[in-house]
């Protein structure tokens, strides 16, 4: 197992401000895939004198980002989405592999996929784990569960079910395929032409069937959900996470906090007109998206005030170039600027997702025993979330996959 020492860096992770502080003039000893030691530079160097070193030239070193709402096979209404929908299985696999490579390169070392087409996500995960392609660690829900004609029913990334028995079978079918979690659509949304954001789409017994069955199999459940009343019922039934939460109330936010239900707000989806225009998204969807923006921000503020755990999730492809950076970083900036602050944003992008995934023994902090999934930038992420615009170095599992300062080979 190879060893390398990372030096000339300041180590920062999501514990900062919560009992741990940034560690300047630090070093990190990496052995194989994992971190073997972290501490002051001289202390770590004494552990392995003469070990190969990576000099980060004064950069800030953080855990790799975790994007908790990704669709690498996203196909929205419009020409861009139609192009993806028209792909055969081989084209789709290559398209998603390219997206995975780009995602890793921008500093996202773990993703949670929350509805991908035709179970291609499982093949992608296997290929990444086998080292055949470059990409982040993949946690996936497989196909999202939806009622007949419900949100997202048009594509191969959802499975239509009706009634408690069918939803139980739907949960089991995704677990059989290898799902790490379950995604269910319990309300309408922005992308459904024949629905509203506040359209309820499952009855209580159907939601209970999904949640109870998933929990019996040791899987958490996250739900696409907009309106407060629908979310309140799901939270009471034991829902683990809400996606979007466009129309929360203080009372529902308080219930989420009390029950430990997390929120992935995906603030980008109601403020990304240029992205929609690029993909040829129809005017009705663009209008619905932008009109929901102010209420979406109010809901996010309610969640923060109530103490709800919030986590980073872009909904847009994580790597997508957008407003001078990528979608993941732009989402993180919105989360920070809208009340979370830089330290909270770092936590929402690293430690909190790792805890939700049950992977905080492996991911989310720069600590001994964790995977060496690390990124570096020149600006302080505790001063501004925009520091992540400058990610210039990425390591996953002890392997450097991006180094903007490396010498370029002669041609």
- Top pLDDT among 194 and 317 is at 317
Instruction: Give the pTM.
Output: 0.95
How many distinct structural domains can be found in the chain?
A: 2
In a domain, 410, yes or no: no
In a domain, 151, yes or no: yes
- Tell whether 136 and 189 lie within a shared domain: yes
Range of the domain at 26: 3-64+365-403
Other Cβ atoms less than 10 A from the Cβ of 388: the count is 28
Spatial neighbors of 330 by CB under 8 A, at least 6 apart, are 268, 314, 322, 323
The least confident of 13-22, 176-185, 303-312 is 13-22
d(CA 381, CA 107): 13
For residue 48, the domain's CATH number is 2.30.40.10
- Tell whether 236 and 285 lie within a shared domain: yes
Above 70 in pLDDT, residue 142?
Answer: yes
- What are the pLDDT digits (tens) for 373-399? 999 999 999 999 999 999 999 999 999
In a domain, 371, yes or no: yes
- Tell whether 8 and 157 lie within a shared domain: no
Q: Is 399 helix (H, G, I), strand (E, B) or coil?
A: strand
What is the structure's pLDDT at 410?
39
For tokens 């390398």, the residue is: 4
DSSP 339: I
Spatial neighbors of 321 by CB under 8 A, at least 6 apart, are none
- Tell whether 138 and 185 lie within a shared domain: yes
- Strand locations in 32-72 (E): 34-40, 53-63, 65-70
State how far Cα 390 lies from the chain centre.
19
For residue 89, the domain's CATH number is 3.20.20.140
- Tell whether 387 and 284 lie within a shared domain: no
- What are the pLDDT digits (tens) for 80-139? 888 888 999 999 999 999 999 999 999 999 999 999 999 999 999 999 999 999 999 999
User: Could you give the C-alpha distances from 295 to 124, 196, 319, in angstroms and in order?
Assistant: 36, 15, 27
- Tell whether 344 and 379 lie within a shared domain: no
d(CA 307, CA 316): 26
d(CA 119, CA 42): 48
d(CA 365, CA 372): 9
pLDDT band of 411, cuts 50, 70, 90? very low
- Tell whether 60 and 71 lie within a shared domain: no
């Amino acid at each position: 197992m190879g060893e390398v020492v990372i030096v000339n860096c300041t180590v920062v992770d999501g514990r900062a401000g919560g009992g741990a502080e940034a560690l300047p003039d630090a070093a990190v000893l990496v052995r194989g895939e994992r971190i073997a030691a972290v501490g002051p530079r001289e202390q770590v160097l004494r552990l392995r004198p003469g070990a190969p070193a990576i000099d980060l030239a004064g950069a800030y070193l953080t855990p790799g980002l975790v994007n908790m709402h990704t669709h690498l096979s996203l196909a929205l209404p419009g020409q861009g989405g139609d192009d993806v929908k028209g792909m055969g299985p081989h084209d789709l696999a290559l398209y998603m592999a390219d997206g995975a490579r780009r995602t890793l390169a921008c500093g996202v070392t773990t993703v949670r996929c929350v509805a991908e087409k035709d179970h291609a996500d499982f093949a992608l995960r296997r290929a990444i784990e086998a080292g055949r392609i470059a990409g982040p660690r993949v946690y996936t829900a497989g196909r999202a569960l939806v009622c007949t004609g419900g949100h997202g029913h048009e594509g191969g990334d959802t499975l239509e079910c009706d009634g408690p028995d069918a939803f139980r079978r739907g949960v089991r079918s995704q677990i059989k395929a290898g799902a790490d979690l379950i995604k269910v659509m319990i309300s309408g949304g922005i992308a459904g032409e024949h629905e509203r954001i506040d359209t309820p789409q499952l009855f209580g017994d159907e939601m209970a069937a999904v949640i109870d069955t998933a929990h019996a199999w040791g899987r958490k459940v996250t739900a696409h959900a907009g309106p407060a009343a629908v979310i309140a019922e799901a939270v009471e039934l034991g829902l683990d996470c809400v996606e979007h939460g466009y129309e929360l109330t203080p009372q529902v936010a308080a219930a989420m906090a009390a029950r430990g239900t997390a929120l992935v707000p995906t603030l980008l989806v109601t403020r990304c007109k240029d992205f929609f225009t690029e993909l040829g998204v129809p005017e009705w969807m663009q209008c619905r998206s932008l009109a929901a923006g102010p209420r979406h921000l109010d809901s996010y503020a309610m969640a923060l005030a109530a103490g709800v755990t919030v986590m980073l999730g872009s909904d847009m492809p994580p790597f997508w170039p957008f407003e001078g950076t990528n979608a993941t970083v732009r989402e993180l900036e919105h989360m920070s600027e809208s009340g979370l602050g830089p330290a909270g944003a770092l936590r929402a992008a690293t430690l909190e997702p790792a805890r939700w995934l049950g992977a905080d023994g492996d991911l989310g902090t720069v600590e001994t025993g964790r995977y060496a999934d690390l990124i570096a930038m020149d600006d302080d992420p505790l001063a501004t979330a925009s520091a992540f615009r400058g990610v210039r170095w990425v390591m996953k599992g002890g392997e450097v996959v991006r180094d903007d300062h490396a010498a370029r080979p002669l041609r």
